[in-house]
Amino acid sequence: MTRKTALVLMAVLIVACYAVPYLFIGQIASWQASFLFWSLAGVAVIILNAVAMAGYGKDGE
């Protein structure tokens, strides 16, 4: 996965973090759905940041 792809996926994830709680999770009474979503979103952010910053600071890039 390239740096540009990771940043595009990060932008999609940011939009999802705004849309999903209001559109889908808001109608569910239990807290487990929200916890699962935010846990998975957090892991995805960590992975995408690691991919996007993998070559940062190397000479020639």
* Nearest CA among 9, 38, 10, 12 for reference residue 25: 38
Domain containing residue 42: 3-52
pLDDT at residue 15 in the model: 95
The answer as to whether 58 is a domain residue is: no
* Domain count of the fold of the chain: 1
Residue 59: inside a domain: no
Q: Is the pLDDT of residue 57 over 80?
A: no
Q: Is the pTM of this model over 0.85?
A: no
| pLDDT tens digit sequence for 15-54 | 999 999 888 888 888 888 889 999 999 999 999 999 988 8
Residue 10's Cβ-side half-sphere holds a number of Cα atoms within 13 Å equal to 16
Give the pLDDT score at 11: 95
**Dist CA 10 CA 16 (whole Å):** 10
